[in-house]
Amino acid sequence: MTREYAQAGVDPKKITPFKRLMDEVAARTRTIPRERRQVYVYPNGAYAYHGRAAGHRWLGVTEGLGNKNWIAEWMYRMHRDVRWFSGIGFDTAMMAVVDVLREGFLPAVYSDEVAAGTSDWFTAIARASAIAESFEGACRVSGMALTSGESPALRYLVKAELPVADAPVLSGHVTAIATSDWRLIRGARYPGLVMLGAPSSGLHSNGISLVIKRALTLEDEFLHIVPETGRMLGEEALIPTASYVRLMEVLLAAGVELMDVLPVTGDGVTKLFTSDPHPLTYRVTAWPAVPPLFRLSTYRSVNVIIDPPVNLTRRSYRDTHCLSIEKREVFYASLILIN
């Protein structure tokens, strides 16, 4: 039966080394949430809050990486260098982590799924090690433990776009905690709030499909040199996602009242208008540098006011989306509104 499974594309012997690597990461990260969150993780993956707060809440979010690792596989096919995977596990985890942060929760436990098209994908030990180490890095930065995971070979479901022969679908689930002093982030916006923007490190994992489409039209494809940086386009696209855990830890520990936390990597500040119908003017005093890779993305421009001090003021509905004379592309990864 085992041989027949292997012939069908599912060979447990080939998958086991990757599982072992991830089990080792789980063992090394198990005490991290105890130190950062007062969450005790048991050897079987169960967990419990052991802190002194009068109460606590849990929040779970599942998110996938999307197509970003297809670029890593493309680069690996051209240059057999596992560094292309050094941020892939980190990217995958951050996709879910940012969604718990926006609710005022802090990550404590993470479980992953790496679903490949064939068992053979798992046999490249150096690549598997780079991805496992990347997941470990995400856990250490985020204050969470890796617990359970799944590593299936889905021959009849997962088929990569050529010229990549095999690229897994990566996703994961974050369980986050908030203690008794947690306040509901209501998404409220009104005049007088302060707006903080946390710059992104690049595309993160948003807009990757269009980057792939456009890159494949270039003569050198992902080997194309980006003039502003001197790096290959593939390198630029694979810059790891920024972590905003420490920022949220500091804000929450200081007792700052957060009115709204808005991940906006996919749309820039235009998301402010599409996510809230109120007629407000958003005054911004400083912009981050624009990564050159954004020329290949769908990121849109928006008219904004650049005029100190930073605040929000009410305007009429007809002026809501026409705020100023200067057109700028904006690439904040997170916008935080503070009372």
Q: What is the pLDDT of residues 299-315, one digit of tens each?
A: 443 333 322 222 333 33
Instruction: Provide CATH 3.30.1330.10 ranges for the chain.
Output: 2-179
Thinking of the domain 194-338, which architecture would CATH place it in? Alpha-Beta Complex (3.90)
326: pLDDT confidence band, cut at 50, 70 and 90? very low
Residue 266's pLDDT is 58
Q: Please say whether the beta carbons of 5 and 74 come within 8 A.
A: no
Q: Which fold has domain 2-179?
A: 60s Ribosomal Protein L30; Chain: A; (3.30.1330)
> How far, rounded to the nearest angstrom, does the alpha carbon of residue 51 sit from its chain's CA centroid?
28
Q: Between residues 300 and 199, which one has the greater pLDDT? A: 199
Sign of CA dihedral 64, 66, 72, 74: positive
The dihedral over CA atoms of 73, 75, 76, 80, expressed in degrees to the nearest 10, equals 180
Report the range of poorest mean pLDDT among 83-92, 142-151, 192-201, 278-287.
278-287
Q: Is the pLDDT of residue 325 over 50?
A: no
Task: Tell me which of 189 and 236 has the higher pLDDT.
Answer: 236
Pairing mode of beta strands 280-282, 312-314: antiparallel
Q: How far apart are CA 302 and CA 269, in angstroms?
A: 7
Quote the tokens at residue 204.
């993160």
Q: What is the pLDDT of residues 50-96, one digit of tens each?
A: 988 878 999 999 999 999 999 999 999 998 899 999 999 999 999 99
| Residue 7 banded pLDDT, cuts 50, 70, 90 | low
Q: pLDDT class for 274, splitting at 50, 70, 90?
A: low
Q: Which residues contact 24 (CB under 8 A, 6 or more apart)?
A: 132
Least confident of 5-14, 44-53, 108-117, 137-146: 5-14
- Please tell me the predicted confidence (pLDDT) of residue 232: 94
What DSSP designation does 187 have?
Answer: -
Contact 175, 138 (CB under 8 A): no
Q: What is the pLDDT of residues 276-299, one digit of tens each?
A: 666 677 777 776 677 777 665 544
Query: For the chain, what is the mean pLDDT?
Result: 81
Query: Judging by beta carbons within 10 Å of its beta carbon (0-12, 13-18, 19+), is residue 325 exposed, middle or buried?
Result: exposed
pLDDT in tens, 91-135: 999 999 999 998 989 999 999 999 999 999 999 999 999 999 999
Quote the Cα angle for 203-206-211, to 5°. Answer: 75
Task: Grade residue 5 by pLDDT with cuts at 50, 70 and 90.
Answer: low
What sign for the dihedral angle of Cα 272, 273, 278, 283? positive
Highest mean pLDDT among 136-145, 176-185, 198-207: 136-145
Task: Give CATH 3.90.650.10 domain extents, the chain.
Answer: 194-338
3-state secondary structure of 243: coil
CA distance 197 to 189: 15
Average pLDDT, integer, range 136-152: 96
Looking at this protein, which amino acid is placed at residue 264? V
d(CA 51, CA 86): 34
Selection from 251, 97, 110 nearest residue 185 by Cα: 251
Q: pLDDT above 70 covers what percent of the chain? A: 78
